[in-house]
Amino acid sequence: MRKKSSFFVIAFIILFLFTSCSKPVEPTNTISEKSLLITGDIEKEIEILGEADNIEWIEIEKDNEKYKAFNLQKFFELIDYDSNEYHFLFISTDGMKIKTDSGYDKINIFINSDGWNIFAPDFPPTINLRDLKEIVLIKNKTDLTSSTNIITQKADLLAFSPGKMRFENLTALNYKDGVSSKNNTYTIEAYKEKLVLPLSDKLSPSNNLLMTYDGGHYYIGNQGFLELKGNRINYIEPESRKIYFNIAGILINPPQKSVMDVYHDTVDFLEAKENVMVLYIDGLSLAQYNEAVRDNLIPFMGKLSSVEPATSVYKPVTNSGYAAMITGQPPFVNGILNRSYREPRVDTIFDYIDNINQTAILIEGNTNILSLNTEALLNTDKSNNGYTDDEVYEAALSQINNQNFALVHFHGYDDAGHTYGPYAKETMNKLTEIDGYVKNLVELWSGKIIITSDHGMHATEEGGSHGDFRYEDLIIPYIIIEGGL
């Protein structure tokens, strides 16, 4: 959800507890102290208490009684959510559910001594639920940005959002929460009932990669369950009693290689007394690479026989993918969860090289992406062509000599993809240009060379983007060759 939305939700909760924005209407009936939960496809759940004063209250009359109420449309305008983007599911304490997708300005939520209720005289009587406990927001369109997705290396298969999960055939799982005993005489087993969706028929029997929104990176089997928990989706493995919270998605049969292997492969080569150069093409997915090969747009890289698929990390953005590349650790370990983070909390390949008294150089564009224990050679756009790749290339030609390790970061392909789209002519022309730079640098280097990326990219209406749990963003090429070809 947008930062603006987060701000309004937080502000709403603060006002909810401490202030009054409008004079409340005094109902004639006693007001219940029960809460009403706003949940589903929403970044932060909102709990409305019985005595909340900041809502724009109105007075309604029903069965000759007056009640304190709020209009559904007005409420969502208050918290800065566009109600046109959502269906609404109303759930009462007895399990009754009502779904609607329009007419929100005609729906009023009122409170009496029994709890929260719906008053919508323009609708069929079925909508008038009593003792309402939840209002669930369900996005109209599938949004891979904020859902839990199941993918393969070549396809986005399934997307579950907390709202849409309400319509799956969920089962009740008696999850064993623990065992306690006293004096070796009395033993108590504790269970929690969880609403879950089995995944054994959707995943590979033994080889699946799960990633969480906080940068977790875990290999799992297929005997677990998706758990619906408010506005989040978790993954439960009952046998091991493991719960993975707030999962971004699961990749079925992931590649053997990972962007994190850049670190580990580099260490192995350096220990074998071989120099290493990493040619880092920002934003290049395996799908884009394959498209360029089919169209004969990368005559050098397209003829290499050692191309393997590899996974990026979540979140697949430059800061996170780059950090995983040079630390060998996933985001929840190295601390770089997204673009907002810059300082790795573990050692990088540059620290390792410094400790073994070898030399390294980092050749960058016009800015430092991460705060590293090495000096980056920055390059501005001196040619005024909108990119720094030609300057990065020229710097690499003159600076990689006599280095044990070199990392050369080409940014232009990602920049073009954002502007024009991942498969646009302008973007592919940029890749052809970089292919020429790669060829020349490979010919000059004596040692091992790793060619890879930090993340991929998917098409949008505006151009291209990345950062979602989808195969286009997560599956990248990984190439190891000998220099001096």
CATH of residue 64 = 3.90.420.10
pLDDT of residue 177: 78
Domain tally, the chain: 3
**Do 444 and 356 sit in the same domain of this protein?**
yes
- pLDDT < 70 regions, the chain: 1-31, 51-53, 485
**394 and 294 within one domain:** yes
pTM score, whole prediction = 0.88
Same domain as 237, residue 266: no
pLDDT tens digits for range 391-432: 999 999 999 989 999 999 999 999 999 999 999 999 999 999
Same domain, 263 and 214: no
Range of the domain at 31: 3-139
Burial track 97-119 (b if 16+ CB lie within 10 A, e otherwise): ebebeeebebbbbbbbeebbbbb
Q: What integer pLDDT is reported at residue 52 of this predicted model? A: 67
Choosing from 194, 225, 252, the residue where a domain stops is 252
- pLDDT for the residue numbered 176: 80
Spatial neighbors of 378 by CB under 8 A, at least 6 apart, are 364, 365, 366, 367, 368
Q: What is the pLDDT of residue 193?
A: 86
Which pLDDT does position 276 carry in this prediction?
Answer: 98
Which of 231, 252, 273 is the last residue before a domain boundary?
252
Type and span of the H or E element at 407? strand 405-410
Residue 167 and residue 106 share a domain: no
- Based on the fold, state whether residues 214 and 181 are members of the same structural domain: yes
- Does 166 lie in the same domain as 123? no
Q: State which amino acid sits at residue 142.
A: T
Q: Are residues 235 and 120 in the same domain?
A: no
Residues 134 and 200 in one domain: no
**What pLDDT score was predicted for residue 182?**
79
